[in-house]
Amino acid sequence: MTGITTIIYPVKNLDQAKNIFGALLGVDPYADAPYYVGYKVNDQDIGLDPNGHKYGMTGPVCFVNVTDIHSHLQSLLDAGATQVQGVRDVGGN
**CB-based contact 21:39 (threshold 8 Å):** yes
- Alpha-carbon gap, residue 32 to 85, rounded angstroms: 27
b (16+ CB within 10 A) / e for 6-32: bebbbbeebeebbeebeeeeeeebeee
Residue 87 has pLDDT above 70, yes or no: yes
For the four alpha carbons of 42, 27, 11 and 34, in that order, the dihedral sign comes to negative
Topology given in CATH for the domain delimited by 4-78:
2,3-Dihydroxybiphenyl 1,2-Dioxygenase; domain 1 (3.10.180)
State the pLDDT at residue 55: 85
- Alpha-carbon gap, residue 14 to 11, rounded angstroms: 6
Residue 28 has pLDDT above 90, yes or no: yes
With bands split at pLDDT 50, 70 and 90, how would you rate the model's confidence at 7? very high
**CB-based contact 5:62 (threshold 8 Å):** no
Q: Is the pTM of this model over 0.75?
A: yes
Domain ranges for the chain:
4-78
